[in-house]
Structure 1
């Protein structure tokens, strides 16, 4: 009985408290018993001194300190805007803080000024949950200025993790020198290569050339130039239109790239103090020199090779192995370290897949569709590289797909054509990863039915290359799709027909690598399409023939893993475990460590 009485009292207390808040707010709305008027930029707010004093020490001190405001009925507040103050006044009277993405930062600063500590905590919590690439730089500066340390570290972590996306926001280039230097010194920034940091430095200095050029030597010293190939470095410098700035930057870059211990041979030691200083200088150089030649701890320098199937057998094994289960799809995932050259087994897929697609979006890896045991899948798995964990995405594609294409533009994933269910399809669907509760939706169609083609996105366009048509004919066709206008452009055909071809963009070129056709079988040849000249040219072929290889671009180099040694038209498959890397600037291929698991029809993504 006592417990029931206590429960009833609690409910009555809640009712009384809620009614009290409601009545208090109504008194202010009716201006009943109001004894002070707050004026902000010509806007007036009626209130009760006792309520304001109870809500915050700021007003309590103002009305009890013996100052002029104690007996005044008119208070003029500086440093606030009317909209923000109204949000705070409503909070003081109702306990409800109405935060939005547009007002949260201003409300936080105003709460801090008024010593509304509870409201400050709620603002910080709200902002921490709503950090994005558009607001992170502004909030980062605000958090540093007002010593919101927890928010500052949350923002720093977010910016490090999403720097390339953040660099597309113009706010990044308005930050001060100390902020930029802290980014360049960080081991935690996730980048594909140091050339991306060089591009950020160039753009930042270019925004205010006269005043920022003085910082250029220190900024460039913290870009790891030895990790940038001559080809990529030259490409970055060629983009600069200001000849004077280009000359200064080129000089600074050359100085840093050629800097060596020989510069210290002239050091003298006239005193023990000089000897100590020179020793410390040499130690600093050793640390700097070592760091310049090592990738950052969190930089994207690893490549995941995901799924596929394995059928490693000799040609004379064909008859004896027909109908075996050796070439079933699997979920094996292995990771190649581009710096160390080592392989590591990672968490496997939850569902075996081959002929699937994999893309990276917002620092997560999405694996789409594919097939296993003659069943085509519409499911999607998402991989978190930090946690080394796969989980199914709740939103499946609108239809199962295999031997299709996928690409990412502006955080939207596109799935294109291929075998759609049991039929060869033309449909295109998309999934907007940034939209809460988004579903896959059909948006357009391919000009014609095809499968086993290559697809890649570049500068807002999706390129669809080669494949096999509905009449089982190999294709050399190349088309570009513009999702924003839902329009197609026909480009020049490849030199050679290719299906199960690896397609990717490196520099200003579109590459078509390997694949197969009915005439030649599996191919070792590659060709590149110049996006400026609109023409195809052959490149040095790979050392091995490869149909349906896994491929990825990292730091201006092309990596190719495994693949099939037989044509897509063949009923007998042989996969390989060899891997190669292509250097575009020298047009050369080099062998690298073998893939631990022989595989074809796999996918590769840089993480």
Structure 2
């Protein structure tokens, strides 16, 4: 009886913020400090308990010390290669959760966060550097990312450099002229560099040599490693014409660097195979036999529309979800042909042309719902072998660099037939139907216009703006920060139309809009792709793939957003509409053009 009078109360996050605020106001009272940290230019008094709670490095240090002393208290004075000024900024962050980053302190804070194993602070540094990257500092940011083990920033900086190498944006910078010889080789030998022609690489070599000629660089090695045309002037008219253009152009061609390159070209007779530069966006398709194909659907070259099969996965899986993040292709879940669902995660690396097993998903299913953002994969839901949705409420996060899974707060109103997309740190869970249907005999099934949003940084779910039109089994994608909801079905709510459904149109939530969703009347879903529609997008393209009807087994039709309407993708016809394959999952993968070229058998080239 007494237990019935008990009530539990909480002040929520207000209590935690008050405690932290109080500790911050008291941190400079030495009487409350029980530790000392030695730094490069002095020392700082600290509270060991709070420092250990906010910094994994000190937690491990103090726990190890406690074990070593068999429980006896002893004040540690660790020595860190950090300045007092930087350490005070980090202490402020531990107490308040806030930090001000600028061009003056970013390197020191990044180095300290790496040393102290403070992953959250390190991620804030990465976000800051990604926000300020430009042609003048991209090479320095890449070096910082590599030095302090920031793989997401390494990938981002490399992509930025490759895309901005055209028009000599990067070559004009002081950072480029100050590169070491080895870093220059690494840069100019990359497959992914966007160049108008190999003349851009020749220009870069001359610019660098004009600055570094006194360092006695190995010019012959640079020429043979970096240039992809024939090095034999006598037998290569194309390259010879390029050199003639150099002689007729303005400085720096009439310069010591140009003469050094010419001399090196005359001395060497080594022929380097011509490998295409730049990147290519292709469609990755998973079939029902466990194979994954790359289809060149967006280019107009020799292999437009052709497909190539990737090497077999580590463990053959049918009907996995395909997802791209960090330059890798991930195959999530799936199962065997006996219908047994698995929780495997496999990663394909285009540069090594190989698959790697990663940490398995927390649950097993076919075709889990999945999106990716900022080096993380987010999954929920899933199907059985017959593609019937399972009532899986898990919401899980996978760090592709740490190779770890983490459980997040579940979706408050889990629905089947919902769509999912991500933009600007928010995951949108869109439409669908409740798992508990209306009573038997009801002429309608329920379809919702609900949208729920997961705020990744705060790790909370909030209600989003309602759709203009209720729908389930829609497709959703992020294009340039805007969320597109495409297609889907809802019942025709009319007594004479029992059992009939309507294919819905396209809606968009613009990132700058404060008015909710907007109907896109010119983007009505094509009837040829109205069933099992999949939407894929990047900053350049929005592509949808679907079927004419629910009975067609193999045929998938592919359309691309052109202006205010949908147009056919000519390059997709040879495999997507041929009826020779049944594809279950798709993803858009960007990879070096040379890597795609290398996948083709030699007899097809």
TM-score (structure 2 length as normaliser): 0.48
Normalised TM-score (structure 1): 0.48
Higher relative contact order (CA 8 A, sep 6+): 2
Larger radius of gyration: 1
